[in-house]
Structure 1
Amino acid sequence: MSRIIFITGASKGFGKLWAEAFLKRGDKVAATARNITALNELAATYGDKVLPLQLDVNNRAEVFRVVNKIEKHFGRIDVLINNAGHGLFGITEEVSEAQAREQMETNFFGSLWVTQAVLPIFRKQKSGHLVQVSSFLGITTLPLLGIYNASKFAVEGLIETIGLETAHLGIKTTLIEPNGYSTDWAGTSATRTDGGIEDYTPVREAFAEVGKNPNIWGKPEATVTPVLQVVDSPNPPQRLLLGNIAYDTVHKVYNQRLKEIESWKDVSIAAQGF
């Protein structure tokens, strides 16, 4: 039986690739984007298998209206893929209030609003799979991405908590944690600060030099099969790293953190007071 997949941010990048993969194999997809005309190609190719809808995930009332339309149209939602989001590049000290709030509004609150709107449907069904696109930068950090890192750290805590709250209801959660990929995420979709503080020039230059290495950018098409495997699994992982850089980096970071935790073990235990 085909499943009903709801994907936000489906106009390009991962969202579009994954939407097409689900549609090609016979699933039905509710695809949303801020600009609905960006979904015309999907609609023209897949007809009534796809439900294109305009959605700004920052607008909580609009999110609930759109989710209601999806449920009425398809009768259920089997998988939610929270994919809408964007990057904010710049030294943290240079980020404006408006830029910081916009980053958190979309990446964190947008995911929260969509999840809150879909969870009642999952609870009623006693089934559902919440797949949240996070980042390996929700576990570790890179310079010039301070607010983006923070938004993904927040998303990690949110989805892990929801997993604990809903597991007894038959609801599954998975955090997808990619490294950098050759999508538009770091291109025109991204926001950037002015970069005016000279003291940070060495940090900016080092970051730019690393970005010139083509081997750090994964091939977006290579993510399709792993995502299908996660959605199809009867026991999906709580977290799935995408890309060798994500795997190697997170493996190293966790080992370093455990070593530091152990080196301060006596101090930590003494802090309990008894």
Structure 2
Amino acid sequence: MAETSDGRVWLITGTSSGLGRALAEAVVARGDRLVAAVRRPETNDDLVAEAPDRVKVVRTDVTSTKDVHEVVEAAAQGFGRIDAVVNNAGFGLLGGVEEATEDQIRSQLEVNTFGVFNVTRAVLPVLRAQRSGHIFMISSVAGQFGAPGLAWYDASKFALEGFSEALAAEVRPIGAKVTIIEPGNFRTKWAGDSMVMAAARIGDYAPSIDPVRALFSGLNGNQPGDPAKAAQTIIRMLDEPEPPLRLVLGGDALELIRQKLARQTAELDKWESVTFSTDFDKA
């Protein structure tokens, strides 16, 4: 039985599996309305069957501005408003900077970064007109912490973080909010079937990259994060009057980010005198 809800409208990209799918299920169970933007609509047939009056599934490639504008229009026209936008579509590319092909690199950035830009730009006029709305950016611990073998994935998420931080300040006057979600390792297909492997392997990089490959191989299916719990947490953030700009999900992610910030602070302190030495001398 669906929970009581005010029937808010969610636009979620990438709902075929993983966190996007878990969130889509939670939104429908809550009684809210869902517009699912997904490359394979048939993966969401069960959600449509469960709530045909509250679920719209639109075949969407987030790298296509035409597709993106069509799904935003389907949400705004079909349900009259958009309360939450979840930029979730994305994938991981594992391999060294030299090991990935140009096509693989461009695909990584087109989906994870430019796809988010496309959706956000298309939805902003709707949020501006209604003077409300909450944009959730599904980033990653990789948006804060760079790891060997994930340079291109990290680049896509670091770009998303800076974009989102600036966007949050821009949209505040129109009543819209932005929250960057930074998950750690969650039990999804990200490290398994959804992971794209770089086309080549260069032996010189084995000492730095092979341990990362082994880590993900061993972790797949045993990740500590629960997607269903993450979905409920994101829904909760929509109810928060003052949600955080960044929300870390998972104890593993929190520990990695804290370690990175401690190293960064120590490095700033160590080189502080050099930093100040580049200023003009005081008169």
TM-score (norm: length of structure 1): 0.96
> For the structure 1 residues 184 and 215, does the alpha-carbon distance in structure 2 shift closer, same or farther, using more than 3 Å as the test?
closer
Segments of structure 1 that go 5 or more residues without pairing to the other structure are none
Paired residue for 1:53?
Answer: 58
CA distance in 2, matches of 1:48, 1:268: 60
Query: Would you say how many aligned residue pairs link Structure 1 and Structure 2?
Result: 274
CA distance in 1, matches of 2:115, 2:210: 32
Paired residue for 2:232?
Answer: 225
Retained in 2: the 8 A contact 1:216–1:245?
no
Using the TM superposition, name which of 59-68 and 115-124 deviates more: 59-68
Retained in 2: the 8 A contact 1:122–1:128?
yes
Matched, 1:169 2:141: no
Aligned counterpart for 2:184 among listed residues 179, 183, 187: 179
Retained in 1: the 8 A contact 2:28–2:47?
no
Paired residue for 1:109?
Answer: 114
Matching residue's letter, 2:123 = V
Segments of structure 2 that go 5 or more residues without pairing to the other structure are 1-5
CA distance in 2, matches of 1:85, 1:249: 22
Retained in 1: the 8 A contact 2:60–2:67?
yes
CA distance in 2, matches of 1:85, 1:210: 21
Matched, 1:146 2:151: yes
Retained in 2: the 8 A contact 1:131–1:176?
yes
Q: Tell me how far 1:70 sits from its aligned partner.
A: 1.3
CA distance in 2, matches of 1:5, 1:182: 23
SS at structure 1 position matched to 2:188: coil
Using the TM superposition, name which of 70-79 and 254-263 deviates more: 254-263
Retained in 2: the 8 A contact 1:89–1:145?
yes
Using the TM superposition, name which of 228-237 and 102-111 deviates more: 228-237
Paired residue for 1:207?
Answer: 212
SS at structure 2 position matched to 1:92: coil
Aligned counterpart for 1:70 among listed residues 61, 66, 75: 75
Matched, 1:263 2:234: no
Q: Tell me how far 1:131 sits from its aligned partner.
A: 0.4
Matched, 1:160 2:157: no
SS at structure 2 position matched to 1:272: coil
CA distance in 2, matches of 1:187, 1:109: 24
Matching residue's letter, 2:261 = Y
Matching residue's letter, 2:131 = K
Retained in 2: the 8 A contact 1:11–1:32?
no
Q: Tell me how far 1:160 sits from its aligned partner.
A: 0.6
Q: Tell me how far 1:272 sits from its aligned partner.
A: 2.6
Structure 1, residues 73-101: CA drift from partner, whole Å, max 9, x if none? 00110110000001101111111100000
Paired residue for 2:3?
Answer: none
Residue identity over aligned pairs, in percent, reads 37
Matching residue's letter, 2:138 = V
CA distance in 2, matches of 1:64, 1:194: 33
RMSD between aligned residues: 1.4
Matching residue's letter, 1:163 = A
Structure 1, residues 140-191: CA drift from partner, whole Å, max 9, x if none? 1111111000000000011111011111111100000011212111222221
Q: Indicate the structure with greater helix content.
A: 1
Matched, 1:90 2:107: no
Q: Tell me how far 1:121 sits from its aligned partner.
A: 0.6
Q: Tell me how far 1:242 sits from its aligned partner.
A: 0.7
TM-score (norm: length of structure 2): 0.93
Retained in 1: the 8 A contact 2:180–2:247?
yes
